[in-house]
Amino acid sequence: MINIAEPQIGVEEIQKVTEVLKSKILAQGEFVYQFETSFAKFLDIEFAAAVSSGTAALHAIMAALPIYPGDKVLTTPFSFVASSNAVLYCGAVPVFVDIDPNTYNISPAALEEAIKKHPDAKAVLVVHIFGLPSDMDDICYLTKKNKLYLIEDCAQAHGALYKGRKVGTFGEAAAFSFYSTKNITSGEGGMVVTSSPEINRKVRMFINHGQSKKYQHDILGYNYRMSNIHAAIGIEQLKKLGEFNQKRILNAQYYYKNIKNKKVVLPYTPKESTHVYHQFVLQTENRKKFIKHLHENGVGSAVHYPEIIPRQKLYRDRFNYREKWPAAEKLCRRCVSIPVHQGLTEQQFRYIVKVVNSYA
Ligand SMILES: *Cc1c(COP(=O)(O)O)cnc(C)c1O
């Protein structure tokens, strides 16, 4: 079976983790600071704070802005649940805005409507889904004009570019994830990036039990710190990110050129963007049958995501949403991800194309 995701761990990561273990400084330490410095440099941004997960990164950003209980945060219904759960952690209210059926990202036109309907909204949380940047010109215009905070969820988009500019640098702050299946990994882990000294200071307190100095606790914080062990993996993975993304892009280009089956729709990449293909997501009418065909031929696949967030029980139980999100709901019924990761061999991606093309 060709796996849908597969972290690529080399001798470099193994050596660096061994170094940490031998040093006996296992919790937060030098490697964490080094990872933060390299990550900030990579994005060319002032501050980066390493945390225990992408979810923790999102929570820390919300808390630092701050997003207060009852505040409205406009966001996409088509994402992993973590993005809007971070809104719930603050007692705030996610207002879901439908996606653009081509990019799968939040629709700027729908966002403009939602801002009119919710003039009291506090922030916009965009997710660069599957590695494709959201429509940042329109989104930045709308957030600036309406004085809304802009938060970017870059958990799937390390190194993705919008008009040559890296995602994670457009808003007040951005969250990255280094979960095992992401474009780069630290096992588990995350990063908050920002150019605001104030947000950086608050995030650092929040992720470390609200400490302003040792054993001086100013606010209610959490233990969201990253360990030296995870940072060691992250440092080595970050060095390989360019190469990993290039591999994903080449795999995707091969798919665009060679997948010729009228029964599947390929993902769309606008000219102004560099998509980093965290996932390569097809659409098809009879998904169950398509997945069975892939599986029988040894090609792993996954459904990202089978349900929109506001239809999850957690959200239905809490909120009485009356809106509909037709584009997101349609995509949930039709989407299938096929392997595109950097670990695929040429033989494998050629084989995947053959299997997809033979689906009838
Ligand atoms: C993975 C992911 C997260 C959460 O990251 P974790 O490190 O798993 O906590 C948040 N948002 C999106 C879009 C993700 O894909």
**Helices 136-145 and 108-117, packing angle to 10 deg:** 20
- For ligand 1, pick from 55, 178, 233, 276 the residue to mutate: most ligand atoms within 8 Å of CB: 55
pLDDT at 25: 95
Instruction: Please state, for a pLDDT cut of 70, what percent of the chain lies above it.
Output: 100
Q: Select from 294, 299, 239 the least CA-distant residue to 38.
A: 239
pLDDT at 120: 98
- For ligand 1, pick from 4, 156, 188, 279 the residue to mutate: most ligand atoms within 8 Å of CB: 156
Per-residue pLDDT band for 34 (boundaries 50, 70, 90) equals very high
Question: Rounded to whole angstroms, how far apart are CA atoms 283 and 269?
Answer: 15
Contact (CB, 8 A) for 110 and 97: yes
pLDDT digits (tens, 9 = 90+) for 147-195: 999 999 999 999 999 999 999 999 999 999 999 999 999 999 999 999 9
pLDDT digits (tens, 9 = 90+) for 273-330: 999 999 999 999 999 999 999 999 999 999 999 999 999 999 999 999 999 999 999 9
Per-residue pLDDT band for 87 (boundaries 50, 70, 90) equals very high
Average pLDDT of the chain to the nearest whole number: 98
Question: Rounded to whole angstroms, how far apart are CA atoms 276 and 249?
Answer: 6
pLDDT digits (tens, 9 = 90+) for 121-138: 999 999 999 999 999 999
Q: Select from 165, 74, 178, 193 the least CA-distant residue to 125.
A: 74
Cα 54 to ligand 1 centroid, rounded to whole Å: 5
Please report the atom of ligand 1 found closest to the CA of residue 188. 7
Cα 156 to ligand 1 centroid, rounded to whole Å: 7
Question: Rounded to whole angstroms, how far apart are CA atoms 332 and 327?
Answer: 9
Question: Rounded to whole angstroms, how far apart are CA atoms 196 and 73?
Answer: 20
Please report the atom of ligand 1 found closest to the CA of residue 58. 10
- Ligand 1 site, residue 177, Cβ cutoff 6 A: yes
Per-residue pLDDT band for 250 (boundaries 50, 70, 90) equals very high
Cα 155 to ligand 1 centroid, rounded to whole Å: 5
Cα 291 to ligand 1 centroid, rounded to whole Å: 24
pLDDT digits (tens, 9 = 90+) for 193-246: 999 999 999 999 999 999 999 999 999 999 999 999 999 999 999 999 999 999
State the Cα angle at 79 between 77 and 81, rounded to 5°: 90
Encoded tokens for 292: 């069975």
pLDDT digits (tens, 9 = 90+) for 94-114: 999 999 999 999 999 999 999
Per-residue pLDDT band for 79 (boundaries 50, 70, 90) equals very high
**Helices 54-64 and 82-89, packing angle to 10 deg:** 40
Contact (CB, 8 A) for 74 and 124: yes
